[in-house]
Amino acid sequence: MALIQTHEVKPGMVLAADVLSKDGRVLFTAGAVLEPWHVQVLKTLGVAGVEIAEIEAVVTPDQAADYTRAAFLYVNPDHPAMQTLFEIAAERVLRRATRGWVLPDVATRQARNVEHLSDVFGPGQASPEEIVQHETELASFPDLYFRLKEMLDSPKSSAKRIADLISGDVGLSAKLLRLVNSPIYAPVSPVDSVARAVTLIGTNELATLALGITAINYFQDIPPELIDMPTFWRHSLTCAVLAMILARRQGLPPERFFTAGLLHDVGRLLLFKKLPYASTEAMIHARENFLPLFEAERILLEFDHTDVSKVLLAEWKFPEAMAQAINFHHDPMCAADPQSGATLHLADIMANAVGIADGGMYAVPDLDPAAWDELNMQPTELHSLIVEFDAQFEKTLAAFL
Amino acid sequence: MTLFSSSMTLRAATPISDAEFKELRDFIYQRSGIWVDEKRKYLFENRFHKRLATLGLKSFDEYVKLLKFDPRSAEEMKTLWEIITTNETSFFRDIKQLESFQKVILGEVLAEQRKKGKLELNIWSAGCSSGEEPYTLAMLISESLGLELPKWKVLISAVDLSPAMIAKAKEATYGDYAFKTTTEEQKKKFFVPEGANFKVKPELARMVSFQQMNLNDDAAVRRVPKSQIVFCRNVIIYFDDAMRTKVARAFYDNLLSGGYLLLGHSETLHKISTAFRPKFIPGAMAYRKD
């Protein structure tokens, strides 16, 4: 605890004791994180000084900005959207740091002992085709997935048939109901049956969500020690929620984008399974060279996770519109529908930016300026988008776990 | 509501023009063979920003001129290599590769030398960073030779582009970070504690000779003693195809017949060289000069 003169008080500092006004009323309570307006009030009221908590390794706004900037070294710093995303990301980093988060140093960022891992294929021995083939020959994809797919394809599928199919799987229907009751839909009254969920959000829409959940569940068995799976799932779901919010603003079908967001890194999941050591080497290479992970994959493996998803999703006969968005989220303007590609592209970049304050350690991929133009947005809209995201995300994550 | 009292900008560095970037990139490439992709322009701006300020230079153009024509050039090159190279490494990194190397490759090479009655072993560690790799090799060799070790003449020629890394390697003293892939047992066996750090045992350190070297410097490369084994891990990923081809040829020329080249986990000679015969060893690939 230290007495700090008011003119030296900075936003981000934490009060160690209540601040009293001249007549003895409590102005601010101990523990408050000072924001600029607090400082202004202190100055206006002529308070001489305040007790500030001495947190070990206090992170200054400059340090938070530098830490965040290091994750933005791959992007065009002059693009207004990236400037806005940087502000959003730095704000989150500083906010978390004032609550006691210690910014990871270089050693922590690179430390990972994966020496026990073995790859299925030797160096340079596997193409995306061989990797996918190795998987599809070994394990069969859930039957439920193909039945959902069949119903999605058939115009004759009734709401009742789809509801019955989903209800037949206890785990899936429970998860779907939690999702439908989460803030991303925020129903007026709780939805307690799949049949009601179908009425509320639509037959195809619910089937699309079910398809995504079934597909991603296929990878639930990846051992958590292999990579940091909680971080992976958090990134995937962040991307899903952001893609859904963006899609609503773009007038695109939200469920498709939620599902595409959830599965956008599905190629990476298969890479973890087949080439765990090489994937980890790519992660380390990305971190130490300030590269986005997909660039590090291209350098070390000569292909990236979207090359794997192209083959995998084709093998699964995954609905083409979603597959396109997933496969081209790093090259959005090459997607058959650039608007869809751009939507997922931006959602992924935003998820990376938001993830920095969650301990994400990879460089944010650069924004394709043509994709940004395609979306017809103003940079300031990104702020309101994030507000919406924050209101929905944590509870949606809870629904998913 | 923001915690930042003033606005902050993503751009923190002086912009580098396309022409300046190309000039600096080409200069680095000519000198080191390291190829810096256009996509890393912003990283470049950022990394060199502080350096330019320290030197009191106003533009990248002035910096390139200093590198090319100034008497301070040689000194500045040392810093340049600091800025552009990364040094991720640790003792016993990629243990699966090292174990099969020890069992299969080293075993074969040692047996061959015994048969010839030449108890000599030369290894070239190209791109040795702060020394973890060549010292690890010394440890594996001492393990394999056991009591035979004093009878052998072992030389590991370890080179790196960065003078700072070479200086650090010569110190042979390491903190925790270097041991993230090392077992306690290995640590006890091969190191002596020194304060909070650990120092490579002198009988192992003696096998390694360090030298700053640019793999693009043909004359220097030719002076490396002929080897039975070349290790070059996580180096050629920074090169373009022409430079990869060039170093592959240099390794081939350096190797004695029957010798082996070992690359990093994800690196191959695929599309680079057909001179070597690839040999699968569990967890890795070795390239043999027949």
pLDDT score at B47: 85
Contact with chain A for residue B30, Cβ under 8 A: no
Rounded to an integer, the average pLDDT of B2-12 is 82
B180 touches chain A (CB under 8 A): yes
Cα–Cα separations (whole angstroms), residue B273 to B23, B246, B255: 29, 9, 15
CATH code of the domain containing A289? 1.10.3210.10
Indicate yes or no: CB of A123 within 8 angstroms of CB of B237.
no
Alpha-carbon distance A285 to nearest alpha carbon in chain B (angstroms): 8
Q: Specify if A372 maps to a domain.
A: yes
Tell whether A135 and A37 lie within a shared domain. Answer: no
B176: chain A residues, CB-CB within 8 Å: 107
Name the residue facing A113 among B9, B176, B180 (closest C-beta). Answer: B180
CB contact under 8 Å between B10 and A110, yes or no, is no
Domain boundaries in chain B?
18-84, 95-288
Helices A170-180 and A159-167, interaxial angle, to 10°? 110
Domain with A137, as residue range(s), is 128-141+218-400
- Chain B residues closer than 8 Å to A82 by CB: 10
Q: Using CA coordinates, name the residue in chain B closest to A77.
A: B11
**Coil, strand, or helix at residue A128?**
helix
Domain of residue A40, CATH code: 3.90.105.10
Residues of chain B with C-beta less than 8 angstroms from the C-beta of A61: 3-5, 8
Residue with the larger pLDDT of the pair B286 and B78: B286
User: What's the complex ipTM?
Assistant: 0.84
Residue A327 maps to a domain: yes
Contact B246, B227 (CB under 8 A): no
Domain-located, residue A105: no
Closest CA to B259 of B92, B126, B121: B121
Residue A29, token pair as written in the block:
């309570």
- In this predicted model, what pLDDT tens digit does every residue of B118-157 receive, in sequence order? 999 999 999 999 999 999 999 999 999 999 999 999 999 9
Structure tokens at A288: 């130490």
Nearest to B6 by CA among A329, A354, A94: A94
DSSP string, A62-94: HHHHHHHHHTTTTS-TT-HHHHHHHHHHHHHHH
CA distance A165 to A207: 10
Interchain pair A61, B5: CB under 8 A = yes
Q: What percent of chain B has pLDDT over 70?
A: 99
Taking only residues 198 to 237 of chain B, the set having a beta carbon closer than 8 angstroms to any beta carbon of chain A reads 234, 237
Asked whether the predicted pLDDT for residue B88 surpasses 80, the reply is no
Residues 6+ apart with CB under 8 A from A40: none
Q: How far apart are CA B252 and CA B207, in angstroms?
A: 23
Residue A254 lies in a domain: yes
**Structure-token pair, residue B75:** 């000194």
Residue A358 domain flag: yes
Q: How many domains does chain A have?
A: 2
Instruction: With beta carbons less than 8 A apart as the criterion, state whether B225 and B197 touch.
Output: no
Residues A282, B266: C-beta atoms closer than 8 Å: yes
- For A37-91, what is each residue's pLDDT tens digit? 788 888 877 788 888 876 555 788 999 999 999 999 999 999 999 999 999 999 9
Domain-located, residue A392: yes
A284: which chain B residues are within 8 Å (Cβ-Cβ)?
88
Is A227 in the same domain as A331? yes
The last residue of one of the domains, among A28, A52, A76, is A52
Structure tokens at A176: 């779907």
pLDDT of residue B63: 93
Residues A136 and A35 in one domain: no
- Structurally, what CATH architecture does the domain formed by B95-288 represent? 3-Layer(aba) Sandwich (3.40)
A112 pLDDT above the threshold of 60: no
Which tokens hold the place of A130?
């061989």
Give the domain B18-84 fold: Chemotaxis Receptor Methyltransferase Cher; domain 1 (1.10.155)
